Structure 1
Amino acid sequence: MAASLEERLTELEVRLSFVDDTIVALSDTVAAHDRQLHALRNALDALRGDLQAVRGTLGQAAQDEPPPPHY
């Protein structure tokens, strides 16, 4: 019975080691995804700013043009 208990304890220690490795790997993956998400959000914010600037320029250019000759 002592050998069986020892085997069970060893098996649990091995499984715990694998679980710890898995947790570390998942944590690293989540951290990498978080960094990538922040970079993508920053890029999206920059693109939104560029789009608003272009829209503002296009809107002003259309207002500055005289009406077509048929008016």
Structure 2
Amino acid sequence: MGEAGMQRVIELEERMAHLEASMDALTDALLMRERELRDAWLAIDRLKGQLIELAPAASLSPEQEPPPPHY
């Protein structure tokens, strides 16, 4: 292999190393976003549960409401 061929191989290896580093960075970013998304869904599920627990108290009719404290 001549000098030009060897230089071409070196350039390709450098490009490949750069692409691998970029792919690793993208994979790390994707994994972080997946964790954030999972945590957000868990928080939403917890809030839904709390809302369901609070809903019966919020739907009382005026006759079922306890009197205000000043009575």
Q: Decide: shared fold, TM above 0.5.
A: yes
Deviation at 1:54, TM superposition (A): 1.4
- Sequence identity (%): 26
Question: How far 1:34 sits from its partner (Å)?
Answer: 0.6
Which 4+ residue blocks in structure 1 deviate beyond 3 angstroms?
60-63
Tell me the alpha carbon deviations over residues 9-28 of structure 1, each in whole angstroms, 9 at most, x when there is no partner: 10000000000001111111
Which one has the bigger helix percentage? 1
Q: Structure 1: state its 5+ residue gaps.
A: 66-71
Structure 2: which 5+ residue stretches go unaligned? 66-71
- What residue number does 1:2 align with? 2
- RMSD in angstroms over aligned alpha carbons? 2.1
> Is 2:28 aligned against 1:32?
no
